[in-house]
Structure 1
Amino acid sequence: MSTQPLPPIVDAATWRKELEALRIREKATTRELDAIAAQRRHLPMVELPTYTLEGEDGPITLAEIFDGRSQLIVYNHMWFEGKEWHCPGCTGFTAQFTRFNFLDNYDARFVIITQGPIDEALAYKRRVGNQMPWYSTANSTFGSDVDAPPGGGFGVNVFLRDGDTVYRTWHTNGRGVEQIAHTFPLIDLLPYGRREEWQDSPAGWPQSPTYSGWVSSEDIAAAYGDPNP
């Protein structure tokens, strides 16, 4: 007999009834997310000055990072100056993105911008096997101006380009970033969920300190990275 905690065992009809009750809330959430996306499309925007960042091939303007597209999603990756390994949350989060061809049909691009010097940033990209395009704002105020200053946190920013003029249209950070990940939505489907102690779980469910189940930057590098970057 298993000693691990288990959900109550019921007949199929009772299970179906409970599932349908949950489905009402799930459908309401889907409609609310649609409404939030609509409100996001109605947001105003703010014009940005011209920024010059650093890319793999040298200096590049923010407008050029769009690579001819009109819309740009930027993940602002945390950077720890002088450290070998950087934010495990950022490293793990961005490791899940490998194919972006679908964005071409929506006139959009998705890139990473970090405070690290470009040579160090590209070396870290190779070390952890990241597949996204990386740029550096080490010599620009861009990061600070979009709420990702040196030594600061991570975040997602979205921009719209009209010719050479770039506008900031949306920003989020903290747990707001979860909405564009597939990791936590998958884990939240599991009976035991994230197993983090802050979660509302039945008595006896396995729970551990927050972040304890997260994959480390070293683990990402071992799984995907170049051992000789």
Structure 2
Amino acid sequence: MTTNALPLPPVVDTATWEHRLEALRAREKAATRELDAIAAERRRLPMVEMPDYTLEGEDGPVRLADVFEGKSQLIVYNHMWFDGKEWQCPGCTGLTSQYTRLKFLDNYDARFVVVTQGPIKEALAYRHRVGNRMSWYSTANSPFGTDVGAPPGGGFAVNVFLRDGDTVYRTWHTTGRGTEQLSHTFPLIDILPYGRQEEWQDSPDNWPQSPTYSGWANSQEIAAFYGPEADGS
């Protein structure tokens, strides 16, 4: 029998465990209701009209209104890009690697794409290298990225747009940890007994903790997991 070298939660009887779980579940349900209320407020946000931007796509220049491909709603992940770097932001690379099946958005009249400041040929080559399956566009020759909070050399962002004919409106924006709600990575890790194991988190004494980001896969690892040379497992 192998003994876990890590500290363990206390062992209790089933009734005690169920009591503690029920108390936690009450807080979880309250958080769910608060998220519902936040989503309701999001649906009531005003919006701002956008200029008629032109981006670069796989097949050449494309108007922002045409990036919707006939849909009325568009989610844009603004992927960080640093000129001359072989491997781009691991956080952006990891987050967008999750989205391999997006056809369900058709039922909601929506599309989800990546936009980056990188030149389109370099961006598409990077997408292939890391096994990303999303549609990518470049804003290297457009002020679009700067105008939506993702300037050259700057950070990442998520923006949502609504199209009415050829007119596009910006309806929502987030960055930083606000993007976690779009990911399944952290929700899965957060239900584990040891959680993210990052030193900023509130964990019991002696729980395994490491520097922030230390558990994240880097871009090379993501390419090995999902890129053209991956074994598919």
Verify same fold: TM over 0.5: yes
Between the aligned partners of 1:169 and 1:217, the Cα distance in structure 2 is 31
The aligned amino acid for 1:138 is: A
Query: Corresponding residue for 1:181?
Result: 183
Q: Secondary structure at the match of 2:172?
A: strand
Report 1:104-183 matches (<5 A): 104-183=106-185
Query: Corresponding residue for 1:40?
Result: 42
Residue 209 in structure 1 maps to residue 211 in structure 2 = yes
Unaligned regions of 5+ residues in structure 2, if any? none
Instruction: Report which stretch shifted further, 74-83 or 2-11.
Output: 2-11
Q: Secondary structure at the match of 1:138?
A: coil
Q: Secondary structure at the match of 1:204?
A: coil
Q: Secondary structure at the match of 1:105?
A: helix
Query: Corresponding residue for 1:7?
Result: 9
Between the aligned partners of 1:3 and 1:57, the Cα distance in structure 2 is 55
Query: Corresponding residue for 2:102?
Result: 100
1:202-222 per-position Cα deviation (integer Å, ceiling 9, x unaligned): 001000000000001000111
Unaligned regions of 5+ residues in structure 1, if any? none
Q: Which runs of 4+ in 1 moved over 4 A?
A: none
- 1:4, CA displacement in angstroms? 1.6
Residue 86 in structure 1 maps to residue 74 in structure 2 = no
Residue 226 in structure 1 maps to residue 212 in structure 2 = no
Between the aligned partners of 1:223 and 1:20, the Cα distance in structure 2 is 38
Between the aligned partners of 2:5 and 2:87, the Cα distance in structure 1 is 39
Paired residue total: 227
Query: Corresponding residue for 1:74?
Result: 76
Between the aligned partners of 1:61 and 1:31, the Cα distance in structure 2 is 38
Q: What percentage of aligned pairs have identical amino acids?
A: 76
Between the aligned partners of 1:224 and 1:172, the Cα distance in structure 2 is 27
Residue 192 in structure 1 maps to residue 194 in structure 2 = yes
Query: Corresponding residue for 1:25?
Result: 27
Instruction: Report which stretch shifted further, 1-10 or 45-54.
Output: 1-10
The aligned amino acid for 1:161 is: R
Between the aligned partners of 1:3 and 1:226, the Cα distance in structure 2 is 37
- 1:2, CA displacement in angstroms? 3.6
- CA RMSD in angstroms, aligned pairs only: 0.7
Between the aligned partners of 2:139 and 2:47, the Cα distance in structure 1 is 22
Q: State the TM-score, normalized to the length of structure 1.
A: 0.98
Between the aligned partners of 1:4 and 1:153, the Cα distance in structure 2 is 36
